[in-house]
Structure 1
Amino acid sequence: MTTDSPIGEAGRPWGERERDQWRSRQSRRRFYDKDIVTRIDALGDRFERTVYGQVRYAGDAYTLYALRSRVMRPGLPAVLVTGGVHGYETSGVLGALAFLDQAAGAYAGRVNLLVAPCVSPWAYERIHRWNHDAVDPNRNFRPGGPVEATALMDLTQSFANDYLLHIDLHETTDTDRTEFGPALSARDGKVFVEEETPDGFYLVADSEDRQLDFQKAIIAEVEKVTHIAPPDAQGEIIGSPVIAHGIIEYPVAQLGLCPSITNARFKTTTEVYPDSSRTTPDICIRAQVAAVRAALDFALAHSGGKAG
């Protein structure tokens, strides 16, 4: 989104006219088929590629793909990895694919794996947080939500009844403060309150079931790859109290966040900070892979025989 002039009137939520104006400012800046689908296809000899939906907006159409274990074994725990719920969060998408390429083989025969690497391809191409309708999929994982959310919900329900683990890969960027936060406030007719951008990796736990030992195990492994975000002067990260080193919490079901879509015993959301002077794109991807591996290792070690 460009920010050269505001859209709409201060204090008044957007209507369709404002959404049309916002859409007119969006342009394709990268290519889902070239960047992502080719990588998904390249993994087809090791994982089963699944089409789980179509996204159609105006003249644009996108096929939604997931990759799953080629051999599904009854009795093994089900594991879900999601990326690109916010399309602009690049390491979430590439981290999910890198995990499949570099690390998932170590878990073959131990889990039934499902990975949806790019949940919101329209937003991926436009490097945006919202979909075509100026809707954030990650606040709308509920019945009647946008197709990016409901298609993924249908997929996960068809894959397994019970899940051991769901890890959702995200980023926190400088544009959250400079671009997407102000846009959200304008869209909803609210006053924008700026928050300090955390410099480093952190996790978001479910406040209804923190699983702090699980979260801490992920932080310990990621800290070997990149730095962990410190709390601000108020002891918070993005306005939420820090409950342990690099860990905050949200009520994921209440907010309609992606980790609410399964009954996974272990769930978390990663947040990588790609704009830090202390990171590179490669470090961000490696941090996501380290997080997935640590989450899997802990979950399997504490599974208690839970099957998928």
Structure 2
Amino acid sequence: MNSAMPLRVESLAKNFPSGPDWRQVVPVLRNRPRKIKVRPIDDVSFEIQRGEIYGIIGANGSGKSTLVRVLSTLLLPDSGLAEVFGYDVVREPAKVRPAINRVSADPSFFRSMSAIENLMFFGRVYGLKTSGIKSRAYDILDRLMLTEQQAREPMQNLSRGQQQKVAVARAFLTSPVLMLLDEPTTGLDPRSRREVQAFIQTVRRDHDATILLTTHDMQEADLLCDRIAVFSAGRIIAEGTPNQLRAMVAGDRPLEEVDMEEVYLELTGRSIEEDEETDD
């Protein structure tokens, strides 16, 4: 992998139109501008250094997942720049894709196939040697506390949390360089959440991996992230280490008395729950 910055984003924007474009079928509307319903990414800029876990915290529906899809080359931005190790996600998607692994909150699998069969399939898609895929898959699943018996169960028989662990394992089959983790612990019980969080820390330490983590779990961001961006209405409204963000709202209080829930409330003017109700 080249020595360029793992991820650089400058003035990135993405708009979603409001419903059907009636200008195409109603002549009298043809010269009117099309209305824009939402701008989930609105002039977003940030950089991630090698080996860093960079968190983006915000409510569900705030645009975090749209941002990850753009960075994954699954959506085209309307304007701005995004580069992965110096490769432009719009002009050079074929060079970007081998450099990234992505975990989403709603992963897709072949539901009638077992977890290990799914991982074998995706390992071959990733170009891994067939002889080594199974042992690596079992090793990762074991570290995520998924048993060999569970790994042989059809995906449709696994719980939501177990399926999410398989999604994490799929992303880590290759030696990760840049991980895009979009709400990776959503739907997990507290124990499974801790296991996935510990595994993320281990992978960063062992592989010097760079990780972009989106979450609406303030405690998770505080635990895992070196720096955090507060995301609201498609914009980054604050950025810094957890303690730097605390200092923005602490006043004369010790930083340890300020949790990330309070930071979010003070910086956005709303709690994460209120923000999610608004974005719905």
- Tell me if both proteins adopt one fold, taking TM over 0.5 as the criterion: no
Larger Cα-atom Rg: 2
Structure with more of its chain in helix, by fraction: 2
Output the TM-score relative to the length of structure 1: 0.27
Output the TM-score relative to the length of structure 2: 0.28
